[in-house]
Structure 1
């Protein structure tokens, strides 16, 4: 689920306790449907069935960009969403789903050329802080106060505070679990077939016996699938990248030490890369891992992979089962923890090129309050893409091949208020209660709430962003010898101003911690 630009992939996934979900929604109207509008004197448009008020708004087509696999029935889902959006805010929607492998390039091009857009998915692991500083996203506090009353009523305040950059809000976090743990998921049928017991798995190295079994006894199956966007070394880390995972310099997310360091210079990094090298040379990992841009869940639908890395939470294996089409089991390699990255790893921002920012915020607000609209986006159309088991539980229509579904984006974690989502019939009915327990047990990083301001070292950061892709994926999947390549990586980082970045991060973090006391 997420694109690695440089240092860490903090993925995902990540946010909060929900209060009560509001079924009704108020937003304010804009006087200009196709131009930037004056938000200082809006009229009101009521979202709760107010046809008359919504009709006073000029028609507007909203564009929404997010990373994922384009779905065959996307247009049909848009049509159903438009029925709700037209009634509530006199808008329609054009969903632009961009393949994960092309997402970064597409966004960088959009931001550089000023291509018109309204709502864009953004995250700390995908360079949100840098993009916001460069002016890619609008400041949202005023818009949120005027058009996001349901967000303010239901969103855990920690999310909004964690998403601030220099005190300003540039994106609205998804309302979901606030902590994360890291590990892998495996095919449950294969694990049971060979009586695999994962109770003693604590480290990456502990996974080897299971990969060896699959390699020897399941010809044609990849024991461990990795790609540029998902590797075990990043998913199994407990490092806090201090608000932006694309910039080097971390602290421990589960300890008390606040010294900022370069992870790649530690013995732990070398040992981890040696393990991955061993896995790779023994044929446990797909050979194209260092260059692959495919998402594991998409590849898994074919049933040819046994294990892959994931950011975990209660019931993550059950969520993924609905996507891949067969039973899974999750294996935690880290405790649950909370960093600023976890509060900001799934957000929706409004592009500076939006011609109607007010309407864009109305859309985001509806995704936090309108259960029907949100579940359309997440799961598709009732009777076509799923059937209701009960008011809040759904299942696949009879005869549906899970691997050939025409609307299965697997992106419910990206949008709005996840506590409004339907549950699949294979999921734990107490899932949301377990989310609360999970959040309460999560260890808070000492850097929680801190976001690094890279402006004083922006030239050095730009250099580092070009160095990472040259080395990191190959090291993390084991495609190269770390004892030979890792020193070259570190040398190049240092030549590109690494130590200056580390010193600046330390300075800012020390000031942040002092201000908290």
Structure 2
């Protein structure tokens, strides 16, 4: 499936959504750019590397094939004091299984992107590396030919990974039909939901297990607004009307330039000036009803109020188990109410991937190791939790609890390094959580534009101007005395900034992509 290579100069201008799971966040992002000579270079490098290495253990099962190959793997985070102790024990098991040793390099997040760029441009010999649309940019790395095409390696040594994931997921790691990165498995589908403090749900009789439309929440919000003067009814972290109906394209700051109706098989483009109107009116209506805090226009950081549980509801991304996770973090019980409808965006999954460095001297060993970590629960969980009795205690067949003041705990890193669905459950997580998340991913509606990404190279100036307008008008819809006037002014400014030119460029690229995909 053809994809276009995003321009590097857009870094910092084109913001992208992160449901995360990570935490997510939430951000979306996404390629032509490659010349015929560059493409030939990539193919030559990939073909050469795929045949390098010892040439032994071709079935990937491990054997007594001599000295183990060392695979250097870069991830971001905080290195634990007992890191070397765990690696020593873990590598005994990895070597026995596939005759490979892991050299896990953990780099602070603030240094990671620069460190990886320097290592790549200097031709450093490392093997595996975390990449995404928000850290160590996949697009930027592809423009520098920093990653190796791994189709043959994946077919030979990555079958365990392939069998464990939905068919559509691998698409996001492909450029011009070649695979360059393996997406990690975690929460990928996007679903809206509402977290509600259980105390107030019980008090006012809110007992719905799910809702079809955000309007079903309004009677409850009315009760909070009228009867709980010291509380804020809702913390809005997602645009419920927009997200339930549309998929955003060309994200800019807080919104997007264009949208498509999720249920439109022709993916007809809808300008932001049209798509956003109903959302802006809803925001204004909620403010006037008292659902939104009165100082919304001036508040830039509500962290203290969130920690103090001053919000009765939080509107954002839903995932299985988020109620227990949020309750544990907040210190008071919350219930989670999903809003019906799960969706896989065109670029969902790009938020967490692992690639093979084009300068890797051990690409076969790297793919064997990635496949092992992705599929072997024993290896994966020792990598995350450390040594039993020293760093954690088992609390069940598939659950564990870190030892207090443990000097090794990467259990929060599961989504960074493989298949999070193999991770042991932590206290507060319900058995079956990962199965439920996997089911949610597999049953979600998949975008008709799956595999398409936008190259902003021809409209960078316009996108920067649109971002400035977005910033100028951000949150103004809540307090606008005349919402019609506000919308008209905002729309005029967006059009003056070049919105229509961006949409024309987007349509051109979409038409090309559709023709190539036939």
Q: Is contact 1:222-1:284 (8 Å) kept? A: no
SS at match of 2:451: coil
Q: Is contact 1:9-1:125 (8 Å) kept? A: no
| 2:91 equivalent to 1:91 | no
CA distance in 1, matches of 2:446, 2:479: 35
Counterpart among 240, 257, 272 of residue 248 in structure 1: 257
RMSD, matched Cα: 4.9
Q: Give the C-alpha shift of residue 494 in structure 1.
A: 3.8
Q: Give the C-alpha shift of residue 180 in structure 1.
A: 3.0
Correspondence for 1:11:
19
CA distance in 1, matches of 2:225, 2:438: 38
Describe how 1:20-419 pairs up with structure 2 within 5 A.
38-44=49-55, 53=65, 55-57=67-69, 61-65=72-76, 74-76=80-82, 79-81=85-87, 83-85=89-91, 87-88=94-95, 89-98=100-109, 107=113, 111=117, 114=121, 119-123=128-132, 130-135=139-144, 137-142=146-151, 143-145=153-155, 147-176=157-186, 179-198=189-208, 201-204=211-214, 206-207=216-217, 210=220, 223-225=233-235, 230-233=237-240, 236-241=243-248, 248-266=257-275, 267-275=277-285, 278=288, 282-283=292-293, 290=300, 305-321=311-327, 326-350=332-356, 361=367, 363-376=369-382, 378=384, 382-383=388-389, 386-395=392-401, 407=409, 410-419=412-421
Kindly provide the CA deviation profile for residues 263-318 of structure 1, in whole angstroms up to 9, marking residues without a partner as x: 343322422442565589942787776467x7x9xx96665654334432333334
Correspondence for 2:39:
none
Q: Give the C-alpha shift of residue 335 in structure 1.
A: 0.6
Q: Give the C-alpha shift of residue 258 in structure 1.
A: 1.4
Taking structure 2 as the reference length, what is the TM-score of the superposition?
Answer: 0.69
Correspondence for 1:31:
none
Distance 1:264-1:138 versus aligned 2 partners, 3 A rule: farther
Mark the runs of 5 or more structure 1 residues left unpaired by the alignment.
Answer: 15-36
SS at match of 2:448: coil
Distance 1:186-1:406 versus aligned 2 partners, 3 A rule: farther
Question: When the two structures are aligned, how many residues end up with a matched partner?
Answer: 468
Mark the runs of 5 or more structure 2 residues left unpaired by the alignment.
Answer: 1-10, 23-47
Correspondence for 2:32:
none
CA distance in 2, matches of 1:254, 1:141: 34
Q: Is contact 2:81-2:407 (8 Å) kept? A: no
Q: Is contact 2:377-2:422 (8 Å) kept? A: yes
For structure 1, which segment, 342-351 or 108-117, has the greater mean C-alpha deviation from structure 2 after superposition? 108-117
Distance 1:486-1:364 versus aligned 2 partners, 3 A rule: farther
Q: Give the C-alpha shift of residue 416 in structure 1.
A: 1.0
Distance 1:479-1:65 versus aligned 2 partners, 3 A rule: farther
Q: Give the C-alpha shift of residue 186 in structure 1.
A: 2.8
Taking structure 1 as the reference length, what is the TM-score of the superposition?
Answer: 0.70
